[in-house]
Structure formats: structure tokens, C-alpha cells
Amino acid sequence: MRSVEEINDRILSGDAVVLTAEELKRMIRSGEEVRADEVDVVTTATCAVMSGTAAILVIPVSERGVFERAEMVWLNGVPALPGPCPNERLGVVDVVVYGTAGASREYGGGHLFRELVEGESVEVRVEAGGRVFEREVTLSDISFARMFTTRSAFRNYAAMVNPREGVVKTIFSVTGLRGPLVEATVSGSGEVNPLENDPALRVIGVGTRILLNGAVGYVVGEGTRSSVEHPNISAVADMKGMNPEFMGGFVTSAGPECITSIAVPIPVLDEQVLRGLMVLDENVKLPVRDIHTRVEIAESNYACVWQGAPLEVKFDARKCEGCTMEVCEAEMMCPTRAFSRGRINRRKCFNCLTCIHLCPEQDKIYSTIEVNGRTVPIVLRQSNRSRANMLATRLKKMIEAGEFLLTSPLRLLHR
């Protein structure tokens, strides 16, 4: 049994052995023996569409005494909730912005958050006392910019299918979920997910230091809808330390959603912690739910999603050269606007598979799941395991450089 303090001493002395979850799982699959006294920290991560994301911002609007208090606020057209502090006659506005709030079907809070972190100017519109105030601000103008999640990093999520005839507009589909049982969409990073690697909830808790979109943050407790069987976390971090590649907007058939990434270091305190870290995709359950009722109708596992399937989209752009279609559906429907006639902006690409399945010239099926005796192709991944692995690697390097120390939780989850 080791303590977090002892592991931190090894980090500061440069002696700590740190592995990413991806590296550890590769060792396990190769049959290599791993002992608890040989590894100090394993970095885990997830990157996914996470609705439960919001930001609190304090925005300068005018000089003092010009207006009493804000009544309505928009940022690039995205509605924000003024308050809770009225900041009477101070010329600044406190706002809460939901990651799922939409200025339009194709632009919402998630897009706004990424543009702020990228240093883009944002148009602010404030209604107060019958007057309208407008100005442009950047993140550097905003004195307080803190992101928080109401629920994130579910230990495992679900696959969604439509068992009925017709198409259902839903946040779990880009084009609408077609039925009956002709396609599936999935969420969840499987064996690299933080809570999947702490199944007994022994080391992740209130006060655990993490990375939220690349910025140092903390777990503040359980998230909404969290339970012992299906836990998730609520987390917080300063937006000014975030990396735009780990966040952003994602357009679904039901409107804009928000991409959020979380990395958590798991201290290898003893053999029991190590046993939890040895979980593989084959052992991680993937519930299959009816999109109409969200009731489970079948069960698969995450090996069907991630094992044998490329983590990054491989699109054959040569097949675009002779394309005669006036409108490229893959370009029009790309949920992160990363695709343009065979060219993919890898900084924005979510590796979701949409372009592969909408282009008539590409090989369609990357992976499938079995649902009540039928083989159903996975047409959308709303978790980006490639980007999760990148964030876990980023955290590993920070720990190895002595730039990130671990914290002991003040209280474990669900205790």
C-alpha cells in the first residue's frame, strides 16, 4: 500500500513510472506481466459529446453607472442567463451559458466556448432598462471564465437504436436515427474512461485534480444522474488554460451539442487499484437502448466499438475527384464542420464516422453490434477515443515533467 504523497515524491524526484491507459491495455493484451510496485500512475481520459457542460463568465459591457442591471444577454447570438449577481451599475454582467444553448440549429454554446479559447472576438448584446448595449470581447477581456460540468465521464454510456419504422430527430444522431434497427450510434470511451478504471470508486473523489479540456481542474463531486452502478462526475476548471482541440460544438439532428474532454490520473496505490486498471473493452458493458423510451433492449460491449476499428477516420479523398454531385452531403452534414470535399481539418475532426457513411463512394461499415439477432452497423461515434488518448498522453507528460501533482480526494464518490 502506497500513499498519494509517496507517489508525488517520486514525481518530484523524476522517478515516477507513468503509463497512459492505452499503453497499459496494450501491455495487458500482449501478455506482459504488470505489477503494482512497477507503475506509479496511469492516466485515463474521455472525450465526448457532453450535454452537461456550462460556463460562468463575467463580461465587461460599459462604463460604471451607465445601466442598472442586465435583463437579457446574447454571445454570438447564443442566449445567456444574466446573474445570479446583478452587478448593479457596475457596467459588467455575470452570465451562465449552457453548452447546449443555441443561436441556431448549427451554432451553440459548445462552438462559442471553443472560439473564446481560440482567442476569437465574440459579439456581446445586452438588453438593460430598455436600452441595448453591444460590444466585442475576447477571453482576455473576461475577468472570470470558469467551465463546469453538471455530469460528465459516465463510466459507460450506451448505444442508441430506433426499433420502429421512420426517422427520429435526436441528439444521438446527425441525420436522424433510422429504423427499424438499420443503424446504431454509440457514446463512451470504453477501457480508457476514468471511472471505468476505478470500478470500486477508491481513488476518484471530491478534490481529485484532473484536466478539463486540457486545463488543470478538479472533481467537485458526483454529477446529476450519477449512481454507484453508473457513476459520473461534476468538474470545474478555468477556461483560460484550456486547449481548443479538446472541446467545441457538435451539430446533431436535434440541434447543437457540446464536446468536452476529461483526463484523470489514477495512482496505483496497491494491487486492488491495479486490478481495476486492467479492465479491457471486452469486459465493459455497452447497453443498447430504444431511442423512443431510452429503455435497454439489448447488451453488447465496447470491443464491438473500438477493437479492430480505426480510431481516426480514414477517408479516401481520391474518390472525390470524379464526384459530380452539386451538394456534398458529407460536407453539409459534418457535425464539427471539419470536412470539405475530401479534405479533413484534423484539428476539428471528431472521428465520428459521419462522412464515411454519407459518402456513397466510401466503405460504409467500420463496426457493428448485435441487437436481438440482427447485425446493426455503427454509423456515429459520439466519443472520440483518439482525442481521449491524446489528452491522457498530455497529462502523462505533465506528470513526468513535475508540472502536475496528484491530490488525495477529500471524499470518495457515493460515500
Mind listing the pLDDT tens digit for each residue in 86-137? 999 999 999 999 999 999 999 999 999 999 999 999 999 999 999 999 999 9
User: Over 80: is that where the pLDDT of 4 sits?
Assistant: yes
Lowest mean pLDDT among 191-195, 275-279, 322-326: 322-326
Answer yes or no: do 61 and 41 share one domain: no
Give the mean pLDDT of 64-80: 97
User: What proportion of the chain, given as a percentage, has pLDDT over 90?
Assistant: 90
Grid coordinates belonging to 36: 503494482
Average pLDDT, the chain: 95
Phi, psi of 384 (to 5 degrees): -110, 90
177 and 96 fall within a common domain = no
396 within a domain of the structure (yes/no): yes
* Pairwise pLDDT comparison (328 vs 40), residue with the higher score: 40
Residue 338 lies in a domain: no
Same domain, 142 and 157: no
| Same domain, yes or no: 22 and 120 | no
Q: Are 369 and 301 in contact (CB under 8 A)?
A: no
**Cα dihedral 107, 219, 45, 17 sign:** positive
Cα angle vertex 96, ends 94, 99, to 5°?
150
| Share in percent of the chain as helix, strand, coil (round to 5) | 20, 35, 45
Provide the pLDDT for residue 257.
98
- Last residue of a domain, which of 97, 130, 149? 149
Q: Is the pLDDT of residue 342 over 80?
A: no
At 356-409, the pLDDT tens digits run 899 888 777 779 999 999 999 999 999 999 999 999 999 999 999 999 999 999
Domain count within the chain: 2
Assess whether 37 and 104 both reside in one domain: no
**Domain termination residue (choose one: 149, 174, 203):** 149
Residue 271 lies in a domain: yes
In a domain, residue 317? The reply is: no
What does the pLDDT read at residue 337? Answer: 94
Residues 301 and 392 in one domain: yes
The pLDDT value recorded for residue 53 is 98
User: In the block, which residue shows the cell 459520473?
Assistant: 232
pLDDT at 341: 76
Give residue 278's pLDDT: 97
| pLDDT, position 156 | 86
* Last residue of one domain, picked from the residues 99, 116, 149: 149
Q: Are residues 95 and 223 in the same domain?
A: no
Query: What local confidence, expressed as pLDDT, does residue 129 receive?
Result: 93
Both 218 and 175 in one domain: the answer is yes
Task: Find how far residue 104's CA is from the centre of its chain.
Answer: 21
Closest CA to 197 of 50, 44, 304: 44
Instruction: Work out whether the CA dihedral 25, 26, 32, 38 comes out positive or negative.
Output: negative
> What letter represents residue 393's amino acid?
T
pLDDT of residue 1: 87
Rounded Cα distance between 219 and 211, Å, is 10
Average pLDDT of the residues in 223-231: 94
What is the per-residue pLDDT for 362?
77
Length of the chain in terms of residues written: 415
- Residues 94, 168, single domain; the answer is no
Res 361: pLDDT? 80
Q: Do residues 161 and 376 make contact, with C-beta atoms less than 8 angstroms apart?
A: yes
Cα distances from 8 to residues 329, 393, 397, in angstroms, run 51, 18, 14
Neighbouring C-alpha atoms within 13 Å toward the C-beta of 383? 26
Find all residues with CB under 8 Å of 303, minimum gap 6, and list them. Answer: 190, 280, 281, 282
What b/e sequence results for 262-281 when a residue is b if at least 16 CB atoms lie within 10 Å of its CB, and e otherwise? bbbbbbbbeeebbebbebbb
* Cβ partners under 8 Å of residue 237, min gap 6: 146, 147, 210, 211, 212, 213, 215, 216, 217, 218
Mean pLDDT of all residues in 28-45 = 96
Is 80 exceeded by the pLDDT of residue 198? yes
**Same domain, yes or no: 133 and 263:** no
Three-point CA angle 260, 75, 88, nearest 5°: 115
User: Do 195 and 83 reside in the same domain of the chain?
Assistant: no
Banded model confidence at residue 349, pLDDT cuts 50, 70, 90: very high
Residue 358 counted as domain residue: no
Judged by average pLDDT, the poorest of 15-19, 326-330, 385-389 is 326-330
Instruction: Identify the three-state secondary structure at position 47.
Output: strand
In angstroms, the CA 11 to CA 406 distance is 9
Angle at 352 between CA 96 and CA 245, to 5 degrees: 50
Domain of residue 27 covers 11-51+150-309+367-409
Query: If you average pLDDT over residues 301-318, what whole number do you get?
Result: 91
Note whether 44 and 192 are same-domain residues.
yes
At residue 272, the 3 state secondary structure works out as helix
Contact residues for 178 (Cβ-Cβ < 8 A; gap 6+): 162, 166, 167
Residue 317 has a pLDDT of: 80
